[in-house]
Amino acid sequence: MSKNLVLVESPAKAKTINKYLGKEFVVEPTVGHIKNLPKSKLGVDVEKNFEPQFVTIRGKGDVIKKIKTLASKSKNIFIATDPDREGEAIAQDIADILNADSKIQRVLFNEITKSGVQKAMQSPRLIDSNLVSSQRARRVMDRIIGYKMSPFLWKSVIEMSGTALSAGRVQSVALKIICDREVEIEKFIPTEHWSIWAIFTTDKRESFKAKLFSVDGKDVRTQPKPVMTEEDWNEFLKECVAIANEAQASELFERILDKKNFFITNVIKRNTKRNPPAPFITSTLQAEASRRLKMRPKQTMVLAQKLYEGVELGSEGLQGLITYMRTDSTRISEEKISEVRDFIKDSFGSNYLPETPNNHEKKNKANVQDAHEAIRPTSLKYSPEFVKKFLDNKSYKLYELIWRRFIASQMNPAILETTVVEITSDEFLFKAFGSAVKFNGFMQIYEEIIEQKENAEEKEEYRNETIPLGLEKNQKLSLDELKKTQHFTKPPARFTESSLIKELESKGIGRPSTYSLIVGTIQDRKYVDQVDRKIIPTKLGKEVNKILVKHFPNIINEDFTASMEGELDQIAQGENIYEKVLTDFYEPFSEALKHVEDKIEKIKCDLCGHEMEIKVGRFGRYLACTNYPECKNIKSFKDIYAQNQEPEYTGETCEKCGARTVYRNGKFGRFIGCERYPDCDFVKNISLGVKCPKCGEGSVVERKSKRNKIFYGCSRYPDCDFVSWYKPVPQACPNNDSDYMEQRYSAKKGNYLKCPVCSEELMPEEVEEVEES
């Protein structure tokens, strides 16, 4: 009897779904895409309506053969790849290969649970050609930009990098945004200003702090610009009081000290609502996981994928724990709204439940793909406490974050009582601010962390956690302490991964499925570094951005990229067509290419003088002489990079010929060699200053494994086979159990040293103390 075939992307997903469908179905994974554009050429016929030339991905032959065999024996074929544009395109590739349209149907699993799978199987549809066209257009546009623009980078900054550089429609704009922020920071001129604050005491000896708010009815404000003309400054002073330097602060300070009587002239209390956050969408999940859990966007998506595809829950078996994690919709199904409202009422009480469900859907839904719901737990039965023993620590923390955010999104707002106390003495007005939680609402389950804004430290300095109870108008206060404090305005903050994702989303750049890829790509390409979680452009990144913005200003900008995203969305919605969108993009782009083509200096062959061209081989891109076969000169990017680098001298001399020695990089890591190589072949390993603990004769050196992972071994290998994955440090164990310790790291402790014998641990500050003593 023929069965029904269900095709999904991953083995984990196949295993979970197979559990729910029973013996009448065969569930088979494709393991991702089965077709792609070719690596060695453009793969797009721009003269023939931008027809893509997709080829089967290397290594997918066996997968295709298997699904063809299964399909030929199946009654029906259900393609259940991920419910987004990428999944739709994979579905179309599968359909093209199987060539069995009459048997093929498309199903979407927004959640991989028994009810979710059964519901999806009851409402199959045809493959959405609009979504496929939208994905194809995005892929082709990205390929054209990357393929046509990258050579300008290779030829322009090849001496700065040992690898082929890349440009991209979205990644290059993300780099531009980061570089633009860095320019703002570099040009920023700090503005000095001062503040005056006082500590007042009641007759009951209760004290609180207040900031000088106005003088003679004029507000005390920071000077608005670093540089002002005298005329502008005088106009500013007509409306405000600026304490721009220490002299002005001291003059006001002395005048206030002369005052004897301070009275409360007003006590203002008002309630403010803090509304619950919306359930997670892809961008907010990545941003919040980065901020709270210190997770990289890519790591967040990998963990979320596992939670979506299914986790083994003991006697419960395989269960998908969250809905599909690539979405920009905050919509929640009515069924789940009802379920979560019952949960809130039973768990927290009626006062935490709003009269009607909270609606977090965006009013302007122009850029929102509403195909499926927000990211939420699939069942409230599987609480964080229930699943904790079945999840690793990071997966648990991410699931708990998603769970709490979803519950909080349907709870009542928190009510905060804000108190403002005004204290006056003649022309001087001080204000004290305090707030208290009157009703915690959604904060009962979801602790809200407010991101600190620029120059927020000064404002927080004057905010009281509590204001004394019973303060009344006309109440006399004692001036207990008066202080003046210097401040400087701060430059714009550098982006974190979290804030960069928010920036891209706010500008309409990229889509849920691409955010982690964008952030990861610019880091992998060495265009940016992360220091203390701040994203900083590298020298290479700045140079790449400079070249791209100079030569392609109309392509590498936020407005163009956002408008292209909009047009791609129009294709998905059936409001535009593939050929028109790509033509609208390609015509100005090709003009820009022609305009700059002759401006880039050609790379000449150092053997015959002909131009070198970029080719793609088994091991990546390289330069080859156009005079082939007469000239067979080729150069790797690493060779050109090496030629342009200054040697890194060790300060020592060669033991063979007396010349200087330099640091070099080889197959097994860094080593020391003679600068006269190949005339002199002297080499030696770089010692870590630790004698081999096994043989006592050699020294410990750094090596690289076949998989390019660093480890440490004896310089006398293969005569001595000592190895360690941890870096030995020439620091004796405090207990005298070892002449060296190993460098370790953990998220909780940071960097520390550990004895390989007795496991004694030393923190960095303890190492300094040992060295000093």
Just list the catalytic residues: 324
What crossing angle do the helices spanning 515-524 and 171-187 adopt, rounded to 10°?
A: 70
Token couple for 678 = 């190949």
Cα separation, 762 vs 734, in Å, equals 9
At a CB cut-off of 8 Å and minimum separation 6, what does 648 contact?
Answer: 662, 663
Cα separation, 198 vs 182, in Å, equals 37
Picking from 674, 679, 677, 642, the residue whose alpha carbon sits closest to that of residue 660 is 674
Q: What is the largest CA-CA distance in the chain?
A: 100
Cα separation, 127 vs 105, in Å, equals 7
* Contact present, 74 and 3 (Cβ < 8 Å): yes
Handedness of CA 698, 701, 706, 710 (dihedral sign): positive
List Cα–Cα distances, 7 to 12, 55, 66, in angstroms.
12, 20, 11
Q: Which amino acid is at 413?
A: P
* Contact present, 5 and 78 (Cβ < 8 Å): yes
Handedness of CA 350, 354, 357, 359 (dihedral sign): negative
Cα separation, 311 vs 390, in Å, equals 8
Cα separation, 294 vs 281, in Å, equals 18
Cα separation, 550 vs 28, in Å, equals 49
Cα separation, 703 vs 685, in Å, equals 9
Token couple for 379 = 């069942």
- Find where tokens 């409230």 sit: 380
With H, G, I as helix, E, B as strand and everything else as coil, classify residue 209.
strand
Cis peptide before 277 (omega within 30 of 0): no
* Contact present, 733 and 719 (Cβ < 8 Å): no
Q: How do the residues of the chain divide into helix, strand and coil, expressed in percent and rounded to 5? A: 35, 25, 40
The strand ranges marked E within 80-206 are: 104-106, 192-201
Cα separation, 752 vs 762, in Å, equals 6
Phi/psi class of residue 474: alpha, beta or left (left: φ > 0; alpha: ψ in -120 to 50)? left
Cα separation, 516 vs 286, in Å, equals 8
CA angle 767, 768, 772 (to 5 degrees): 120
Cα separation, 639 vs 642, in Å, equals 5
* Contact present, 562 and 173 (Cβ < 8 Å): no
Which of 723-740 are b and which e, b meaning 16 or more Cβ less than 10 Å from the residue's Cβ? ebeebbbebebeeeebeb
